[in-house]
């Protein structure tokens, strides 16, 4: 029998047993849809949380001054620490595992334009702050190195701060007054979601160069005029994270005379550790959803196996007739193999189509900030198809091989007696 005759004969057989074919295809398609959608939901949660977390900052540590809890160098415990404007230069030189060390100032100040005014948080740092803290630009630009070095009175507005000060009017090139000083607006921030903060949402702030803030808004006693609020620190890589943290504490301890093991003297909000903890949680959830999907996949595989076993048993007489008229065992196995392959590919295509169609439909609706939608994975879909396809082929070929090896007369008698 030629392959063309084999193919047409197989298609006629499948069409003649439509219910059995449908049940087999349904089991395979359902297994693919269930495991792929469950894995997609877990991945959507992970991606959504990662996206929102990065809107706050990319692998950053925020270092606040505190109070010493240990004696060091003859000084008493309970002494307040205070970071200074030039500390970051020394830290950068003493902490090679750290990528960026930025000083940051934050003041609640009166800000007014020609149209409105309000008390807003005014934040000052160095130009890399925009990248490290994920400050996206909608209009204009963030302040640059030249602005910072010269202490220019330029301002970058958060999206909500711009609305408060200018409503729907253009803000670029306009002058605002921060306290008693005029600042020119050079840029406006793009709105963003933010899952956490230490001093308010970025969209409600005004950002100015660090040297301008030191000059115009120095700290008042009892703090020194050059005191700052915190440092923003990033490790060079995730692998350098713990080394960077230790080098950071050691450098600050040398500058401010406290024990580097004293965690209360330098309080660190470590978003890297938080991200790792959430990654472990979402990975566990993804494994759980995958396990639930795998159970559904196994149940689908059992259904496929039962249908295929019954199908081969029902066709024992047919196998006997085909052998009686000269069909070889190999030809009989070839027919069952081709039947199963056709069923697997048709049901696999339908399952994949349903899966990615559902994902596209769900993703067309607005999603909450922490959920990126159903992020379907071709790898999980192909894996499910391969597993169920293998189950289907084995569950068809094993009984078919046994039936094909039986004497034709016994096969006919078996069916007639059944």
Angle at which helices 316-324 and 408-417 cross, to 10° = 150
Kindly report, residue by residue over 254-303, the tens digit of the pLDDT. Answer: 999 898 889 899 999 888 776 666 666 667 766 776 676 667 666 666 66
Q: Who's near 298: CB < 8 A, 6+ residues apart?
A: none
Helix, strand or coil, per DSSP, at residue 194: coil
Ramachandran angles phi, psi of 371, nearest 5° = -130, 120
Indicate whether 12 pLDDT > 90.
Answer: no
352 and 385 in contact (C-beta within 8 Å)? yes
Q: How large is the average pLDDT for residues 144-153?
A: 95
* Mean pLDDT score across all residues of the chain: 82
Instruction: Tell me the mean pLDDT in the region 121-143.
Output: 94
Residue 205, helix vs strand vs coil: strand
What pLDDT was estimated at residue 416? 45
Band (pLDDT 50/70/90 cuts) for residue 418 is very low
- Least confident range from 55-59, 212-216, 377-381: namely 55-59
Instruction: Measure the CA angle with vertex 156, ends 155 and 157; round to 5°.
Output: 115
């Amino acid at each position: 029998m030629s392959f063309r005759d084999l193919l047409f004969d197989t298609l006629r057989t499948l069409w003649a047993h439509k219910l059995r074919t449908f049940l087999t295809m349904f089991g395979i398609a359902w297994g693919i849809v269930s495991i792929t959608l469950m894995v997609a939901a877990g991945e959507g949660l992970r991606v959504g949380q990662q996206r929102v977390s990065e809107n706050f900052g990319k692998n950053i540590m925020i270092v606040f001054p505190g109070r010493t809890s240990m004696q060091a160098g003859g000084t008493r415990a309970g002494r307040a620490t205070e970071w200074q404007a030039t500390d970051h230069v020394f830290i950068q030189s003493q902490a090679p595992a750290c990528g960026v060390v930025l000083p940051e100032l934050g003041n609640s100040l009166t800000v007014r334009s020609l149209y409105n005014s309000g008390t807003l948080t005014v934040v000052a740092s160095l130009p890399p702050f925009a990248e490290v803290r994920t400050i996206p630009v909608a209009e204009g630009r963030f302040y640059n190195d030249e602005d910072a070095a010269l202490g220019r009175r330029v301002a970058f507005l958060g999206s909500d701060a711009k609305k408060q000060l200018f409503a729907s009017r253009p803000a670029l090139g306009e002058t605002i007054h921060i306290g008693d000083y005029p600042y020119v607006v050079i840029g406006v921030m793009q709105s963003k979601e933010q899952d956490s903060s230490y001093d308010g949402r970025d969209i409600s702030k005004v950002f100015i160069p660090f040297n301008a803030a030191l000059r115009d808004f120095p700290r008042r006693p009892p703090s020194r005029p050059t005191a700052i609020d915190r440092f923003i620190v990033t490790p060079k890589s995730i692998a350098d994270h713990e080394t960077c943290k230790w080098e950071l504490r050691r450098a600050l301890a040398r500058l401010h005379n406290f024990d580097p093991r004293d965690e209360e003297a330098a309080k660190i909000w470590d978003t890297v550790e938080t991200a790792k903890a959430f990654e472990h949680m979402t990975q566990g959830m993804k494994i759980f959803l995958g396990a639930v999907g795998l159970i559904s996949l196994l149940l689908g595989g059992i259904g496929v196996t039962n249908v295929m076993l019954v199908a081969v048993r029902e066709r024992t007489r047919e196998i006997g007739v085909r052998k009686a008229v000269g069909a070889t065992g190999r030809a009989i196995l070839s027919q069952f193999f081709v039947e199963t392959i056709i069923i697997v590919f048709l049901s696999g295509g339908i399952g994949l189509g349903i899966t990615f169609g559902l994902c596209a439909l769900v993703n067309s609706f607005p999603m909450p900030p922490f959920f990126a939608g159903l992020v379907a994975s071709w790898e999980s879909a192909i894996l499910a198809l391969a597993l169920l396809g293998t189950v289907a082929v084995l569950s068809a070929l094993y009984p078919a091989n046994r039936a094909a090896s039986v004497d034709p007369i016994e096969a006919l008698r078996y069916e007639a007696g059944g």
